[in-house]
Amino acid sequence: MNFDTNLIIRSLPEILGAFGVTLLMWVAGVIGSAVLGFLVAVGRRYGRRWLGYPLWLYVETIRGTPFLIQLFLLYYGGPFVGLSLEPIPAGLFGLTIYGAAYFSEIFRGGFEAVPLGHVEAAECVGLNRNQIIRRIFIPEMTMLVLPASVNMAIILLKETAVLSIITVPELTLVISAIGSQQYAFVESLFLLALFYWGLVELSGMLGRFLETRLSKYRFATA
């Protein structure tokens, strides 16, 4: 069996287009799910009880069901309740809703992990509430949740492959189609794995860089 590099070269425009779609879905999905997850965490921690229970139900439902099933229900079941979406909007919406449930738990843990003594010390030196949130709470919480957030971003990157099931023209769908049409399954699967591996490594490097830059906010737990 020969590895046909010419196949990859001939299909490069299609592959690069699919790579752009994957990158778009991933970056937009991570940003959207992180923002929504933060709002859910704030609502559960500081909101009223009537808001906390629906948010808890949302988080537990999303975390308790596979992403693939959620996509099927959204894309194929949505029209039955008046929600008809094209593949890319449906994929982005599904990825955001899925990731937000996990990000909300990450942020909730970050809220609870900031030492109360740091907030009390800031109050003693005369910082107001906004200053405490901006200078103490958010920086320290960001440092605490960064490793878990990077891991979650990597998980969402891998989950973009599932979007192929609703015909989103991302890497998995396009490269798999090329492999099937040309009977070049080894080349296509190798290339697909290489793309995802490269993106995961870049994400890890970015996470380590940010962790180094934010290390000045690290605090002792003892």
How far is residue 128's CA from residue 124's CA, in Å, rounded to a whole number? Answer: 10
Long-range (24+ apart) CB contacts under 8 A made by 21-24 are: 21/88, 21/168, 21/169, 21/170, 21/171, 22/160, 22/170, 22/171, 22/195, 23/199
Architecture of the domain delimited by 33-168+196-217? Orthogonal Bundle (1.10)
Contacts of residue 201, defined as CB under 8 A and 6 or more positions apart, other chains included, come to: none
Sign of CA dihedral 83, 86, 91, 96: negative
How far is residue 160's CA from residue 163's CA, in Å, rounded to a whole number? Answer: 5
Entry pTM: 0.85
Domain ranges of the chain: 33-168+196-217
Tell the residue number behind the tokens 């030196």, with chain if given.
Answer: 125
**Residue-wise pLDDT tens for the chain (222 aa)?**
566 677 777 888 888 999 999 999 999 999 999 999 999 988 888 778 888 899 999 999 999 999 999 999 999 998 888 888 999 999 999 999 999 999 999 998 888 887 878 878 888 888 886 777 777 777 778 888 888 999 999 999 999 999 999 999 999 999 888 888 877 777 788 888 999 999 999 988 988 888 787 666 555 443
